[in-house]
C-alpha cells in the first residue's frame, strides 16, 4: 500500500486527506525522520516532537501566503517534507542538498531564515506589521520553543506586539528542553502549571476553551498537567500582561484538537498565545531516553532498524577536553567558575556541573547576559570561563567590548566550534570571531594546534589577569596525548614546527596539518619550507615571523576563518605598518556565506587545501 506521504508534493495535497488519514501520515513522517536522519545526521529529537503541530498548521493555513516562522528552525524537517521537498529529503544537511534550517533561498515556503534562538517572535511581528501596512489579510504564526523564552530578544518582541499589530498567532511549544533541560525562572514558570485562586477566572476561561475545542479528552489532559506540577500561577497571567489572549495548555500531539484550535485561532482579531505541551523525541524510544544526545546527531549515529546507538570515534572531543580540564583547574583554584548559555552538553560543561554545582551557571539562551554576568563575577575576583559556541558569541559582541575589554576584566571566553561547523551551515559556522575580537584592546586571542596545547592554553588563561579568548574546533583533535601537568605558554609567542627559508607557512590551529602537507609537497620540488604555529592571534609573535620573513620568497597564512579581517589580515597589517614588501598569500574562507556540507568537500571547493596553498604561493617562489 502506498504511503500517504508519497502523495504529498505541496500543502494543497495534504489538505485532500481526512483527519483519520492524517494520523497515519504522522506515523509515516516519524518513520521517514528516523530512517533518514540515521544516515544523514540532524536534529531528530526536536522534529519528532512537532510532527502533529506542523501537520495541523499546514492543514489549516495556506503557505506560502500564510507565514510560519520557526524559532531556531532546526525543527523544520516536517515542514520541508510537506512543502514540495519530499523527494530531496534524503539530501538534508548534505553538500548541495537541503539545508537543516529554514532558508529563504531554498523555498518560498521558508518564510524567514533562522539558526539562532529567540528571533522568531521579532521576525513574525515584522511580517505581521508589514502585512498590516499593506492592507493584507494573511496569517502570521511564530512557533517558539519554551527555551526561546529564556532569550531576551523574545521578551523585547513581546513588549511590542500589542502596540504594533492586532493579528498574530504565537505557539509556545513547551517540551522543557532546548538542547539541555531549560533552566531559570521562566522555565520554572512553564513547568509549574497549576491553578491559583487569585487567577481562577483565567483558568476557567482557558478550560472552557479547551473543552469546546477538544472535548473531555483534552480537559483530562489539562487536569493531568495540573496535578503533576505544583507551584506558580496559571501562566496566562504572564502573557495577558503582554497583551496576548492565552489558550491552553493543550496536548501538542492531539492532532484533531490542534486542527480545530488552528481553525479557531486564524479567525481571531487580536494577538493570541497557544500553549502546547509536547514530548521531544516522541515516537522513538532512544530519542526520548537520551534527550540531550538526540537533540542533534551526526551521520550514522544510530541504527534505525535496531534503535541502538552506533559507537563513534573514541577520541575525546575538544568540548570534552574543555570540561575535564576545567574540573582540574577548579579543583586547584576555588575562584574558577563555569558559565554557559543553555549548552552544558554542547560545551562539555556537563562534566563540570556535578563536580562543582555551586560554581556552575547556566543562564539559558542569553549569550549577552552570560558575558556581562561573567564580567560581574570577574569584577569581584572570580575567574569565570564563559563557554559559548563561536557562532553564538557573535550575539554578545558589544558586551565583550564594553563590559569585559574596556574594564580589562579577567574573563575567559571559550569559543567552541571556532571554524567551520560543516553540516549545520552558515548560521553555525564560527568564521567571524577573529575579525571582531582582534579589534578590541586588552584582549588576548588564541587557538591551539592540538589537544595538549589546548589544555596549556586553558591553564595559561586561568592565570592571565585580563580578558582571554580561546577558539577551538568542533569534534575531536589529532589524538595528541595530553601531558600530566600543563605548562604556561608565553603570551604572544609562537613555535616553529618545521624549519625552512623560501616559503613560510603560518597556520592557525586546525590548518596546521594542511600547512605541513603543503610544505612536504614543496620540498619534493626542492623548495625549502618553514611551518609556524602562531598560537596567538593577538598579540602576534612578530619577532618570530619577521625572523623567517627576512629570507622568504613568500609568507602564506592559513586559517579556518573568513579572510576578511581574519588572521591573515592581521599579518598583512603588521607588514604594511613596517613597510615590508614580502609577498603574503592567504588561505581561508572567502567573503561569502559558506553553505552546509562535508568538511573536506567544502575545503576543496573554497581552496582550503595543501594544493591550494601551493597554487597561491607558486607565483612568488624563486626556484634555485
- Catalytic (active-site) positions: 280, 367, 395
Between CA 468 and CA 535 the distance in angstroms is: 13
Strand 529-533 to 495-498 pairing: antiparallel
Got the DSSP string for 533-559?
E--EEES--HHHHHHHHTT-SEEEEEE
Cα dist from 218 to 174, 197, 214, 221, whole Å: 16, 22, 5, 5
Task: Specify whether the CB–CB gap between 365 and 178 falls below 8 A.
Answer: yes
Judge if the upstream peptide bond of residue 64 is cis by omega within 30 degrees of 0: yes
* Residue 129 neighbours by CB distance under 10 Å: 16
Half-sphere exposure of 175 (CA within 13 A, CB side): 28
Phi-psi region of 442 (alpha: psi -120 to 50; beta: other; left: phi over 0): left
Q: Where are the alpha helices (DSSP H) in 438-588?
A: 451-463, 512-524, 542-549, 567-577
Q: How far apart are CA 182 and CA 177, in angstroms?
A: 5
How far separated are the first and last CA of the chain, in Å rounded? 73
Q: What is the dihedral of CA 159, 165, 166, 167, to 10 degrees?
A: -100
Rounded CA separation 166/132 (Å): 9
Would you call 503 helix, strand, or coil by DSSP? Answer: strand
| Cell numbers given for 612 | 591550494
Amino acid at each position: 500500500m502506498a504511503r500517504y506521504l508519497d502523495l504529498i508534493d505541496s500543502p494543497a495535497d495534504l489538505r485532500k486527506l481526512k483527519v483519520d488519514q492524517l494520523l497515519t501520515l504522522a506515523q509515516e513522517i516519524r518513520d521517514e525522520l528516523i530512517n533518514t536522519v540515521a544516515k544523514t545526521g540532524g536534529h531528530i529529537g526536536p522534529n519528532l516532537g512537532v510532527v502533529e503541530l506542523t501537520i495541523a498548521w499546514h492543514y489549516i493555513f495556506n503557505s506560502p501566503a500564510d507565514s510560519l516562522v520557526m524559532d531556531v528552525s532546526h525543527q523544520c524537517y516536517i515542514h520541508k517534507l510537506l512543502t514540495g521537498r519530499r523527494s530531496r529529503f534524503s539530501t538534508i544537511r548534505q553538500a548541495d542538498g537541503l539545508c537543516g534550517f529554514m532558508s529563504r533561498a531554498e523555498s518560498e515556503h521558508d518564510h524567514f531564515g533562522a539558526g539562532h534562538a529567540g528571533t522568531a517572535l521579532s521576525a513574525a511581528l515584522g511580517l505581521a506589521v508589514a502585512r498590516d501596512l499593506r492592507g493584507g489579510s494573511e496569517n502570521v504564526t511564530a512557533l517558539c520553543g519554551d527555551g526561546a523564552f529564556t532569550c531576551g530578544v523574545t521578551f523585547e518582541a513581546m513588549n511590542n506586539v500589542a502596540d504594533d499589530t492586532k493579528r498574530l498567532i504565537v505557539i509556545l511549544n513547551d517540551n522543557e528542553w532546548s538542547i539541555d533541560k531549560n533552566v531559570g525562572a521562566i522555565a520554572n514558570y512553564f513547568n509549574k502549571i497549576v491553578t491559583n485562586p487569585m487567577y481562577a477566572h483565567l483558568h476557567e476561561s482557558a478550560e472552557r476553551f479547551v473543552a469546546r475545542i477538544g472535548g473531555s479528552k483534552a480537559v483530562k489532559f489539562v487536569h493531568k498537567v495540573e496535578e503533576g506540577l505544583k507551584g506558580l500561577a496559571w501562566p496566562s497571567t504572564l502573557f495577558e500582561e503582554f497583551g496576548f489572549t492565552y489558550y491552553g495548555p493543550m496536548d501538542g500531539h492531539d492532532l484533531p484538537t490542534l486542527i480545530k484550535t488552528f481553525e479557531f485561532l486564524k479567525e481571531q482579531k487580536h494577538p493570541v498565545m497557544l500553549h502546547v505541551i509536547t514530548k521531544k523525541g516522541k515516537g522513538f524510544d532512544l530519542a526520548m531516553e537520551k534527550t540531550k544526545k538526540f537533540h542533534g546527531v551526526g551521520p550514522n549515529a544510530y541504527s534505525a532498524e535496531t534503535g541502538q546507538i552506533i559507537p563513534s570515534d573514541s577520541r575525546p572531543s575538544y568540548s570534552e577536553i574543555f570540561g575535564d580540564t576545567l574540573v582540574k583547574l577548579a579543583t586547584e583554584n576555588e575562584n574558577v567558575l563555569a558559565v554557559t548559555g543553555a549548552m552544558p552538553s554542547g560545551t562539555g560543561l556537563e562534566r563540570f556541573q556535578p563536580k562543582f554545582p555551586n560554581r556552575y551557571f547556566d543562564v539559558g539562551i542569553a549569550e549577552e547576559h552570560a558575558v556581562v554576568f561573567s564580567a560581574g563575577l570577574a569584577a569581584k575576583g572570580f575567574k569565570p570561563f564563559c563557554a559559548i559556541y563561536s557562532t553564538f558569541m557573535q550575539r554578545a559582541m558589544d558586551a565583550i567590548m564594553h563590559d569585559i575589554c574596556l574594564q580589562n576584566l579577567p574573563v575567559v571566553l571559550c569559543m567552541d566550534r571556532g571554524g567551520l561547523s560543516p553540516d549545520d551551515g552558515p548560521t553555525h559556522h564560527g568564521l567571524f570571531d577573529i575579525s571582531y575580537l582582534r579589534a578590541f584592546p586588552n584582549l588576548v586571542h588564541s587557538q591551539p594546534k592540538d589537544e595538549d596545547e589546548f589544555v596549556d592554553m586553558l591553564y595559561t588563561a586561568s592565570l592571565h589577569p585580563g580578558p582571554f579568548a580561546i577558539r577551538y574546533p568542533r569534534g575531536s583533535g589529532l589524538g595528541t596525548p595530553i601531558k600530566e601537568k600543563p605548562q604556561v605558554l608565553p603570551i604572544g609567542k609562537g613555535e616553529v614546527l618545521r624549519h625552512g627559508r623560501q616559503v613560510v607557512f603560518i597556520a592557525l590551529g586546525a590548518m596546521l596539518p594542511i600547512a605541513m602537507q603543503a610544505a612536504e609537497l614543496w620540498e619534493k620540488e626542492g623548495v625549502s619550507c618553514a611551518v609556524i604555529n602562531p598560537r596567538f592571534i593577538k598579540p602576534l609573535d612578530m619577532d618570530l615571523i619577521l625572523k623567517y620573513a627576512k629570507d622568504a620568497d613568500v609568507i602564506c597564512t592559513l586559517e579556518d576563518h573568513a579572510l576578511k579581517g581574519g588572521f591573515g589580515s592581521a599579518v598583512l597589517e603588521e607588514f604594511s605598518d613596517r613597510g615590508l614588501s614580502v609577498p603574503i598569500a592567504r588561505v581561508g574562507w572567502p567573503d561569502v556565506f559558506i553553505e552546509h556540507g562535508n568538511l573536506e568537500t567544502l575545503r576543496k571547493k573554497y581552496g582550503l587545501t595543501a594544493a591550494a596553498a601551493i597554487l597561491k604561493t607558486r607565483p612568488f617562489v624563486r626556484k634555485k
